[in-house]
Amino acid sequence: MNTFTYSYPTKVYFGERSAAKNLPAELAKVGKNVMLAYGGGSIKKNGVYDELICILKNAGKNVIEFSGIMSNPTYAKVQEGAKIAKENAVDLILAVGGGSVIDCCKVISAQAKISEELWEFETQKHLSPSEFIPMGAVVTAFGTGAEMNNGAVITHEEKKIKGALWGAFYSFAVLDPAYTMSMPMKQVISGAFDSLSHCMETYMGTPRETNLSDEINEACQRNIIRNLRATIKNNDDISARSELVWAAAMAENGMLKIGKVTDFQAHMLEHQLGAYTDCNHGQGLAVIHPVLYCHMLPKAQAQFARLAVNVWGISPVGKSEEQLAEEFINALSDFIKEIGLPTKFVDMGIAADTDFKAIAESTVLTGGCCKKFTKEELFDILSECYD
């Protein structure tokens, strides 16, 4: 096992009515000015906005609203939010939404504290921000687990890069499964697949021999598969939903990564696809994973074979490692079809003239992946994903 330090700064309030029960005490710890940040308005339709405004007013807060955070949040939106946060001397950012709102606010919290551009500060000067506006997250869409890490995926439109910037950890996160019940089924499925992808991306890193983190990871994957199937059968199943909400957080709260260097090559490719097409994250991953895994197969046999048996319940009797590894990829592909995710870019509405060469060229090659890809092979993979 690799050497590690484990400590977690985000306090999680999980369960129904968690906001009403716990926000007043959290709000009492911070100053008067609270920035309520959200997306395109789903929280106004499902009652979450009204409930939070009531809690904030009862706590005597001065609420500064920052809305319109889009899916795949842009660096320009970060700058807009940081300006508002600075001008209003914001004491707490309350991010209410899914991964996009939660990520955007992580970077706002850092950008509002420095005068230079955070993108250059982090990616050119390789410096890390050290001052942040404190933040709390209220999760309304599960999947990314963004509420439990300090990485933010931000699209720089001019540079055509969808990349990670590092912000602060949330001081607290409210995970009320009931808040997620109004998510469209399409988002439920792509969110849960994103969580499954995070588990696989972590599992496929190093070390590659059996270890505790991977055995916990296998349980998470089985849980996501089982509870996504239950949710598709009955969208009102709050018990299955609760499991999915926590599994999403588990996949990204560092626990499965203990002692590991992660893979995340599928994510790097999908993020650049997103930079060029603004596509849905979970859908992009669903198309990329099986194709990428076919290319990884010769180097990944032992890990894929373990996933076949321990996650997908495939019998190992009389089978070679190679056969089992192939059966894992087939099981994953069948599951993607079964849950109605796209299997080709063309099904996602991605245009044929998309610059896949530029996407491949600008994709980060990860150190934890078992195969050292070339940009040419990434281009081949993207072409195979198209149709």
What is the nearest approach in angstroms of ligand NZQ to the Cβ of residue 140? 4
180 binds, among Zn ion, ligand NZQ, none (CB under 5 to 8 A by kind): ligand NZQ
153 binds, among Zn ion, ligand NZQ, none (CB under 5 to 8 A by kind): ligand NZQ
Give the chain's largest Cα–Cα span.
Answer: 68
Q: Which residues contact 343 (CB under 8 A, 6 or more apart)?
A: 286, 287, 290, 333, 336, 337
Out of 55, 174, 183, 336, name the contact with ligand NZQ by CB under 6 A: 183
What is the nearest approach in angstroms of ligand NZQ to the Cβ of residue 370? 20
**145 scored as a contact of ligand NZQ (CB under 6 A):** yes
**303 scored as a contact of ligand NZQ (CB under 6 A):** no
Give how far Cα 321 sits from Cα of 94, 155, 313, Å.
Answer: 49, 40, 15
**40 scored as a contact of ligand NZQ (CB under 6 A):** yes
Name the one range near ligand NZQ by CB under 6 A: 135-143, 203-211, 253-261, 371-379: 135-143
**272 scored as a contact of ligand NZQ (CB under 6 A):** no
Per-residue exposure over 291-312, b if at least 16 CB sit within 10 Å of its own CB, e if not: bbbebbbeebbebbbbbbbbbb
Nearest partner of 75 among 98, 115, 107, judged by Cα = 107
**72 scored as a contact of ligand NZQ (CB under 6 A):** yes
**177 scored as a contact of ligand NZQ (CB under 6 A):** no
Distance CA 213, CA 251 (A): 11
Is the Cβ of residue 173 or residue 324 nearer to ligand NZQ in the bound state?
173
**99 scored as a contact of ligand NZQ (CB under 6 A):** yes
Nearest partner of 166 among 113, 127, 136, judged by Cα = 127
199 binds, among ligand NZQ, Zn ion, none (CB under 5 to 8 A by kind): none
Is the Cβ of residue 84 or residue 309 nearer to ligand NZQ in the bound state?
84
Residue bearing tokens 């870019």: 345
Is the Cβ of residue 39 or residue 342 nearer to ligand NZQ in the bound state?
39
Distance CA 257, CA 254 (A): 5
